[in-house]
Chain A
Amino acid sequence: MSKHMTRKATRHVNQNEGLIFEKSSPGKAAWKLPPLDVPDVSASTLLGTQERKDLGNMPEVSEIEIIRHFTRLSTWNYAIDLGMYPLGSCTMKYNPRVNEVVSRLDGIANGHPYQPEKISQGALRIMKTLSDCLLEITGMDAITLQPAAGAHGEFTGLLMVRAHHESKGTARKKILIPDSAHGTNPATAAMVGYAVENLKSNSKGMVEISALQSQMNEDVAALMLTNPNTLGIFEQEIHKVADILHAKGGLLYMDGANMNALVGKARPGDFGVDVMHLNLHKTFSTPHGGGGPGSGPVAVKKLLEPFLPTPVVISKADGTLGFNYDRPQSVGRVRSFYGNFGMFVRALAYTLANGPDGLRQTTEDAVLNANYIRKGLEGVFDLPYSSPSMHEVVFSDKLQAKNGARTMDLAKRLIDYGFHPYTTAFPLIVPGAMMIEPTESESREELDLFIEAMKSIAQEVEEDAELVKSAPHTTRVARLDETAAARKPILRWKPASEQPQDT
């Protein structure tokens, strides 16, 4: 092992554990149902030929085996609870546990979406309070909580953009998207029937205003912008951007993924944004859970309010809350029921735990942390853009590439130092990108350990590049063969009797 290993990483032994099917055996059980208090039935009588006789290779295991299985599996994961995730634009902040407790209260966890409004005032109050907070934070006029994730929110937002233009006579044809945009942006535009036109960034990493000027016309429905952008840079000419769009009837869509740099310090509604989505699983602390669930509320200015998905929450004359389904211009529904309600509870708990001071301090700490890392690593890694960083900083692997070590290699070696990798190879406009967002949840100690680790890796690239290029060395599995996984996909377990002979 390298002489440079830092204090953070420590080795421990992880139990081996196979697939649950490999432990299955007829007669084992982890369940028990109470006796039937109604007459038993014959499935074949009731269902006829549609009776299912056989559940195939579903497992049969005991409760302790399940507890051990998943507990052991969990120890193979890195997690925020263990340490920093410097992933750019993911905002891997602390997931407060009070959020988990309140979401499990009986009326909240077991409320049915179709139960009468009279006994749904609790849920409605949660939705209304969260909505009001999010509107205040974003500076917008109206909001929907229905979309289940950020990309889903982008879809909903663009649907409303389209509906707005259609109400004015023509849907228009295209969406402008900066070359630094997250992949969901163009994917979403295509789903809403728009063509995508690329918008170049300038040497400062911001939107090239002259390019926008020449590309803006009456065929452009909207510009989708992330602000601060994926380079962590605030679009300082955002008002010019908004003006150019509005002058020709276009709308400004903001991808709210980077709101962690703005909450309590600036509001998108104030700088010209017409429609935006939020990521409750980023800025508002709801847990990532291995990839989801998320929640992607969409906030709009008044001009788009009529198009919000149905239903909307309303205050009635008698002081109670309800759902309004009478929305003739609505874009319709983007999912069943009202959205990922469990995430509303968590996001609201987070907001209440912070209050105005906490929210502002959180944002300040996030930006402070990113700049501290930038200062610590400047000179060690190439910094492609000199513009000031907000809550995230993007380096490149240019200085290390001459020794053959690329961003992915450096990231894999970071694992040996006890950290999760930063975001590699994104944004696409920075070849060999290393995108780092610490969030406010990192202490100075953790940041210093991170800076120390990154410096050490840079040193290792000079002294022993192979060590870095073949990392990680301390994990349960080494680098995995992704090529084989894609060429001959094995997407499920099969019992030995059903596996093909050449496996």
Chain B
Amino acid sequence: MRYLPKSPADRQAMLKAIGTSSIDELFAPIPAEYRLNRDLKVPRQMAESEIVDWFRERSRENGENHASFLGAGAYNHYRPVIIDSLISRGEFLTAYTPYQAEISQGTLQSIFEFQTMICELTGMEVANASMYDGSTAAAEAVMMAVRLTGRRTVAVARSVHPEFREVLATYAFHQGMPLTTVPFTDDGRLDRKSVEDAITGDTACLLIQSPNFFGSLEDVEALAEVAHRKGAMLVVSIAEAVSLGIVEPPRQADIIAMEAQSFGVPVGFGGPYCGVIATREQFVRQMPGRLVGQTVDRGGKRGFVLTLATREQHIRREKATSNICTNQALVALMVNIFMTIYGKVGLKELARHNLAKTAYAVQQFGKHASVLFPATPRFNEFVVQTSEDPYAINSRLLGHKIVGGLPLKKFYPELGNASLWCCTELTTRSMIDTAVGLVAESESSVNGSREESVEEVAR
């Protein structure tokens, strides 16, 4: 097998050196009744060209060359090519966790830069080296707030990504953390009153997302005021990182739980992504995840090390802040390089392009259907409400190799025939015009009560 650097002669010589005659002797510790004496029933060994062909087939079966209006926690942004050039270097790709600092300064210094830039973008004082994704980052941030306040209940906005809320429910269930859901108003976001009602003296934190699942900005300042006045923390989840280029970060938050996928990570059918937790310095000892700190070596030279490891599982074991061990290091490196490429001016421009494309799409869709929550500022997503079933509309769009917005019925049935659309800098005017045209067509035909059987595209 071509990955194995041994000749039969090598194996023979080694067995001899060990003092055994066959490899079977080395497997004798496994009781005979469990030793497999047949081949595993897995596909036969393939040549490299066959492997590539097999996956090319799968790629063809997976919507190659489609234009997409999907967002909802996974965003299609342009990935500058040097990201892959750099992360593909063997010294980054095949390196281990930087526990041995002297031979991991490359990894450690890049993480230090990553932590710095996340702080700059989020307005927080410390950031960790990554969590699995935005959903688990949110869950861990909430658990952090519970530990810090000593309170048990958690108030969660219904405008937070539904799958993030599901993950939180799974984590909370076994920690004795009752969850209260805070409704959103007709403006597509939370208001003071609903938060006043939801937060009690036993509430550890309020979890919101901004821009929220609908792409709308929450009134962070107002909600923070209510939460803090009642002794609760504010945890803010950010799913669309590019928004930080042009939307004020939630500086009033106590903890920010981010998904950084937008920063140079492929959409890749849902993972791997890059969660991050950022917070104030005073809370750092309760923060999960790895942290890189600056120090000096014996000669006084600047260097970097993993630090505050006493929070982590390998030391605290059952009293650890989290069980996280492997994180998303290589993906965080992609994020790091992306943030470095765009930087101070580019991130703002990139975000502005997203705003512009979305504003144009909203205007065009608005001529033929209802775009919800017009009074609330938004970033790059919006909700379109149509007379026709969104699944039927999307079916028609698929015929033009366009993937339409996410139908929302399964998450928010009260919104009826609504779907969530996202425009990024990669969305072209022509894509928008085509999609709008096809929606317009169906809206006028439905309103003109023309019957058509349309192949429903199941979600």
Residue of B nearest to A191 (CB): B323
In the complex, 13 of the A-B residue pairs with CB atoms within 8 angstroms, ordered by the A residue number, are A30-B346, A58-B347, A287-B93, A290-B92, A291-B326, A332-B167, A335-B167, A336-B133, A352-B46, A356-B40, A477-B297, A478-B301, A481-B296
Contact A480 B217 (CB under 8 A): no
CB-defined contacts of A267 to chain B, threshold 8 Å: 34, 36
A222 to B425, CA, bound (A): 51
CB-defined contacts of B428 to chain A, threshold 8 Å: 37
Q: Is B333 an interface residue (CB 8 A)?
A: yes
- Report A351-385 CB contacts with B as 1/0, cut-off 8 Å: 11111111111101101110110011000000000
Contact A29 B269 (CB under 8 A): no
Contact B341 A196 (CB under 8 A): no
| Count of A interface residues, CB-CB < 8 Å | 201
Contact B169 A481 (CB under 8 A): no
- Report A90-107 CB contacts with B as 1/0, cut-off 8 Å: 101111101011111111
Contact B28 A388 (CB under 8 A): yes
Q: Using a CB-CB cutoff of 8 Å, which residues 11-33 of chain A contact chain B?
A: 17, 19-21, 24, 26, 29-31, 33
Apart from A58-B117, A342-B272, 5 more pairs, CB < 8 Å: A43-B246, A78-B104, A121-B62, A336-B167, A411-B100
Q: Using a CB-CB cutoff of 8 Å, which residues 126-179 of chain A contact chain B?
A: 126, 129, 133, 136-137, 148-152, 154-155, 159, 162
Query: Of B73, B170, B295, B459, which is within 8 A of A116 by CB?
Result: B459
Q: Is A80 an interface residue (CB 8 A)?
A: yes
A431 to B91, CA, bound (A): 32
Interface-lining segment among A211-219, A460-468, A489-497: A489-497
Shortest distance from the beta carbon of A245 to any chain B beta carbon, whole Å? 17
Most chain A CB atoms below 10 A, which of B76, B267, B323, B350: B323
CB-defined contacts of A444 to chain B, threshold 8 Å: 5-6, 10, 13-14
In the complex, number of A-B residue pairs with CB atoms less than 8 Å apart? 687
Contact B40 A191 (CB under 8 A): no
Q: Is A292 an interface residue (CB 8 A)?
A: yes
Contact B51 A352 (CB under 8 A): yes
Decide yes or no: A415 and B326 within 8 Å by CB, A102-B51, A365-B4, A484-B296 being known contacts.
Answer: no
The 8 A-B pairs at the shortest CB distance, nearest first, are namely A289-B330, A355-B45, A337-B270, A122-B62, A81-B90, A291-B329, A107-B62, A119-B63
Most chain A CB atoms below 10 A, which of B42, B54, B312: B42
Interface-lining segment among B81-89, B178-186, B194-202: B81-89
Contact A482 B307 (CB under 8 A): yes
Contact B59 A476 (CB under 8 A): no
Q: Using a CB-CB cutoff of 8 Å, which residues 326-350 of chain A contact chain B?
A: 331-343, 345, 349
Interface-lining segment among A60-68, A246-254, A297-305, A396-404: A60-68
A70 to B307, CA, bound (A): 22
Contact A440 B4 (CB under 8 A): yes
A299 to B100, CA, bound (A): 33
Shortest distance from the beta carbon of B441 to any chain A beta carbon, whole Å? 20
Residue of B nearest to A287 (CB): B93
Residue of B nearest to A155 (CB): B323
Shortest distance from the beta carbon of A220 to any chain B beta carbon, whole Å? 16
A108 to B60, CA, bound (A): 9
A420 to B459, CA, bound (A): 48
Decide yes or no: A342 and B403 within 8 Å by CB, A133-B42, A264-B36, A477-B102 being known contacts.
Answer: no
Contact B94 A100 (CB under 8 A): no
Query: Of B14, B112, B113, B246, which is within 8 A of A47 by CB?
Result: B246
A288 to B48, CA, bound (A): 22
A291 to B292, CA, bound (A): 13
CB-defined contacts of A482 to chain B, threshold 8 Å: 295, 305, 307
CB-defined contacts of A476 to chain B, threshold 8 Å: 102, 105
CB-defined contacts of B294 to chain A, threshold 8 Å: 485, 490-491, 493
Interface-lining segment among B17-25, B144-152, B228-236, B442-450: B17-25
Residue of A nearest to B65 (CB): A106
Most chain A CB atoms below 10 A, which of B36, B106, B134: B106
CB-defined contacts of B212 to chain A, threshold 8 Å: none
Contact A55 B301 (CB under 8 A): no
A85 to B308, CA, bound (A): 25
Shortest distance from the beta carbon of A234 to any chain B beta carbon, whole Å? 4
Decide yes or no: A184 and B102 within 8 Å by CB, A136-B40, A480-B296 being known contacts.
Answer: no
Residue of B nearest to A334 (CB): B170
A340 to B265, CA, bound (A): 12
